[in-house]
Amino acid sequence: MFKKILVANRGEIALRIILSCKELGIKTVAVFSEADRHALHVRFADEAICIGPAKSSDSYLNIPSVISAAEVSDADAIHPGYGFLSESAYFAEVCESSRVKFVGPSSESIRLMGNKVRARREMDRLGLPVLPGSSDAIHTEKEAVASAEAIGYPVIIKAVAGGGGRGMRVVHSRGELLTALKTAQAEAASAFAVPHCYIEKFIERARHVEFQIMADEYGNVIHLGERECSIQRRHQKLIEESPSVIMSSELREAIGSSVVRAMTDIGYWNVGTLEFLVDERKNFYFMEMNTRIQVEHPVTELVTGIDLVRDQILIAAGEKLPHRQNDIHFRGHALECRINAEDPVTHKPSPGKITSWHAPGGPGVRIDTAAYAEYVIPPYYDSLIAKLIVHGFDRDEAIRRMDRALDMFVLEGVKTTIPLHRQILRNAEFRNGKIYTKFLDHLQDNRARAVEMA
C-alpha cells in the first residue's frame, strides 16, 4: 500500500481524494497555486506545497512543478482527480519514469482512448456501435465539406482531444460549416493545445448515457451500471442521475457486457467511463471515453455502495479488484446537481466571496464541496462550487429530496445555478423522464418566448 499520495488537483475533488486516503491510513500532500493558499484541500492534507501562480498553466498544469513536489515530499503516488493533468498521457509517462505511481490507467490507454477518432475506430473494431463520422481529423475545408455531406446534416464538430464541451459546434447546413469548424478548432487549440477536430452525425433528441467501469492490472473488469447525463448546457453536464429511466436490466446487461469485453480486450485498468449517445429507439452509439474519475461519480457510489476513489487507489497499489460483477447490486435512485458560480440565466461566471453559507442535510443528502462562508471563489478555474447529491427509494423520492435540499441551500454573495436547477426539477417533462441533451436549450427558449408574450 502507498505511504503517501500527492493530490494533483484542487477544490472538491482534491478533498474527496484526501477523504479516502485518510480512511486508508495514507498520508497526503496537497499542491496549490497562490490563489488557493487558503483552500480547504491545503488545510486538510498532511503536507502542502505551493507550485506556482494562479494561472493553471503555471501551477496545476505545470508538470515539472508537480513532479518536483512529489519528489520533495517523498510521495510514492500521484492522484490527478479529474480535469487538469488527469487525461495527459505524457504526464502519466513522466510519473512512470519518475517511479511515482500514477493513480489511473496506463499512459498507452490514455493515449488510445484520449484521441476520440482513434477511440471510435478501436471501439468499432471491438463491436461497439459508433455514429457515422469522419475516419480521421479534418485538416482542410474540402475534407470538412466532403465529410459533412457524406454523413448528412445536422452534424457536430468535435475536438479530437479534451472534453467538457469545448471545441464542439453543431452544424445544420453547409453555410454554417466552415465558420463553425474554424471556431471549434480555435477553441480546441486554446483549451487542449491540439486544434484538430473531427465530424460526426448529430442526433437531434439524443440522450447522453454513460457506463462506469472498473478494472485491475490482472485482467479483471466489471461495470457499475449507467448514469444519465442528458441535462446539459453547452455540452457541459448540470444534472446527472442513476439509473437511467430508459434502462431495463436486460439492456443494462447487454451494453455493460459489451463495454466489459472491449475494456478487457484493450487491457485497460483502473476506473473509466464510456459515454454513449442514445436515440429515441434506444440505440446506443459509442461517443468517447474518459480515462479518469468523473465529476458525477457520487451517483454511482450511492446506488452501488462502492467507494470509487478508494478502489482507484487500491487498484493502483497493485491489489486485485475487490468486487466481481455478481457483487454489484443497484439500490434506489441518485441525483446530482452541479452548483456552479454562474448567472442562472446568462451562464456568465460569478466569482467572488461567499457571504453566507448553509449546506443542506438530512436523510439521503450528500454534498461534496470545498467552499465555506467567507471563501473567495477565484476567477481562474472551473466555476463548480459544490455537488449536491441525493439518494432516494425511487426517482420520484430522489427528485423531491433534491428539491427540498436545494430550497435549504443558503449560498449568498455570488450568483449560482440553484434557481436553474429548481426550475428543471419542477418541470413536468423532466419529472416524467422525457429528457435529452438539448432539453435545457428548449426549456429556456420557451421561457424567453413566454416572457416576450406577457
Neighbour tally for 281: CB within 10 Å: 5
Mean pLDDT computed over 357-366: 97
Complete DSSP assignment for 132-191: SB-SS-B-SHHHHHHHHHHH-SSEEEEESS--TTTT-EEE-SHHHHHHHHHHHHHHHHHH
Quick one: pLDDT band at residue 166, thresholds 50, 70, 90? confident
Quick one: pLDDT band at residue 190, thresholds 50, 70, 90? confident
Over the stretch 61-77, which tens digit does the pLDDT of each residue have?
A: 999 999 999 999 999 99
At residue 202, the pLDDT reads: 92
pLDDT over 60 at 338, yes or no: yes
Quick one: pLDDT band at residue 447, thresholds 50, 70, 90? low
Mean pLDDT computed over 390-403: 98
Average predicted confidence (pLDDT) for the chain: 95
Interior angle at CA 87, CA 221 and CA 180, nearest 5: 115
Mean pLDDT computed over 207-229: 98
Distance of alpha carbon 43 from alpha carbon 46, whole angstroms: 8
Distance of alpha carbon 408 from alpha carbon 401, whole angstroms: 11
Cis-peptide into 154, omega within 30 deg:
yes
At residue 441, the pLDDT reads: 87
Mean pLDDT computed over 265-273: 98
Which 3 state secondary structure label does DSSP give 361?
coil
Quick one: pLDDT band at residue 257, thresholds 50, 70, 90? very high
Over the stretch 414-441, which tens digit does the pLDDT of each residue have?
A: 999 999 999 999 999 999 999 999 999 8
**Domains along the chain?**
4-103 (3.40.50.20), 132-201 (3.30.1490.20), 207-453 (3.30.470.20)
Q: Under a CB-based contact definition with an 8 Å cutoff, are residues 213 and 224 in contact?
A: yes
Which cell numbers in the block locate residue 160? Answer: 479530437
For residue 354, give every residue at least 6 positions away whose Cβ sits within 8 Å of its Cβ, in sequence order, or none.
371, 372, 373, 374, 375, 376, 377, 385, 411, 412, 413, 414
Neighbour tally for 404: CB within 10 Å: 15
Question: What is the percentage of the chain residues whose pLDDT exceeds 90?
Answer: 91
Over the stretch 171-185, which tens digit does the pLDDT of each residue have?
A: 999 999 999 999 999
Which cell numbers in the block locate residue 30? Answer: 496537497
Mean pLDDT computed over 231-252: 95
Closest CA to 261 of 391, 60, 125: 125
> For the whole model, what pTM was predicted?
0.92
Residue 451 dihedral angles phi and psi, to the nearest 5°: -65, -40
Distance of alpha carbon 179 from alpha carbon 191, whole angstroms: 18
At residue 453, the pLDDT reads: 47
Quick one: pLDDT band at residue 451, thresholds 50, 70, 90? very low
Place of cell 482512448: 113
Distance of alpha carbon 309 from alpha carbon 84, whole angstroms: 17
pLDDT over 50 at 233, yes or no: yes
Which cell numbers in the block locate residue 379? Answer: 476567477
Residues with catalytic function: 292
pLDDT over 90 at 400, yes or no: yes
| Cα-to-chain-centroid distance, residue 50 | 26
At residue 445, the pLDDT reads: 67
Quick one: pLDDT band at residue 161, thresholds 50, 70, 90? confident
| Cα-to-chain-centroid distance, residue 176 | 29
Distance of alpha carbon 248 from alpha carbon 95, whole angstroms: 41
Over the stretch 108-159, which tens digit does the pLDDT of each residue have?
A: 999 999 998 999 999 999 999 999 999 899 999 999 999 999 999 999 999 9
